[in-house]
Amino acid sequence: MHGDYALVGLAHTYLDRDECRREEFGAFLAEVESHRDEGWVERFKTVPLDIRMIGQCQALVAEAVEAFGRVDILLCCTSQKALIGTVEELAASQQTLNLVRDQFETNYFGPLNIIKATLPHMRRQKSGHIMIVSSITAHIGTPGLGMYSAAGWALEGFCDSLAYEIAPFNVKLTIFQCSIEIGILTGLITSVPPIVPAYSPAVNHAPLFRGILNRLVPRLPNRQTVVTENGNHDSDQASSAAEGPFSAPKVFSMYPPLSSAHMEMLVEETVYAITAIGGHENPPSRHIVGQEGVASVKEKLKTVSEEMEDFIQASFAVDYAADGGPGPSKEDNMALGTNHNERI
| pLDDT score, position 239 | 40
Confidence of residue 231 (pLDDT cuts 50, 70, 90): very low
Q: Using an 8 Å Cβ cutoff, are 232 and 260 in contact? A: no
How crowded is residue 293: how many other Cβ atoms within 10 Å of its Cβ? 21
Residue type, 35: H
The mean pLDDT of 49-67, rounded to a whole number, is 92
Q: What CATH code is carried by the domain that includes residue 284?
A: 3.40.50
Three-state SS annotation for 14-31 = HHHHCHHHHHHHHHHHHH
User: Is 50 within a domain?
Assistant: no
Quote the pLDDT of residue 331.
58
**Mean pLDDT over residues 111-128, rounded?**
96
Q: Where are the alpha helices (DSSP H) in 133-241?
A: 146-166, 180-185, 209-216, 235-238
pTM equals: 0.81
| Residues 254 and 323 occupy one common structural domain | no
Tens digits of per-residue pLDDT, 193-218?
Answer: 999 889 888 888 888 899 999 988 88
Q: How many CB atoms lie within 10 A of CB 141?
A: 12
pLDDT at 42: 79
Identify whether 40 is part of a domain.
no
**Do both 222 and 335 map to the same domain?**
no
201 and 331 part of one domain: no
Task: From 254, 283, 289, 256, select the one nearest 271 (Cα to Cα).
Answer: 289
For residue 117, pLDDT over 60 is answered with yes
Q: pLDDT of 2-13, one tens digit each? A: 567 888 887 766
pLDDT value at 324 more than 80: no
Q: Which domain holds residue 334?
A: 311-342
What's the N-to-C CA distance of the chain in angstroms? 47
- For the chain, give the percent of residues with pLDDT over 90: 44
Kindly state whether residues 77 and 115 are assigned to the same domain. yes
Please give the tally of structural domains in the chain: 2
**36 in a domain, yes or no?**
no
Q: Are residues 238 and 330 in the same domain?
A: no
pLDDT digits (tens, 9 = 90+) for 68-115: 889 999 999 876 689 999 999 999 999 999 999 999 999 999 999 999
Helices (H), the chain: 12-17, 19-34, 40-43, 54-68, 87-90, 94-104, 110-125, 146-166, 180-185, 209-216, 235-238, 260-277, 291-310, 312-316, 330-336
Q: Give the span between the Cα atoms of 234 and 218, in whole angstroms.
A: 12
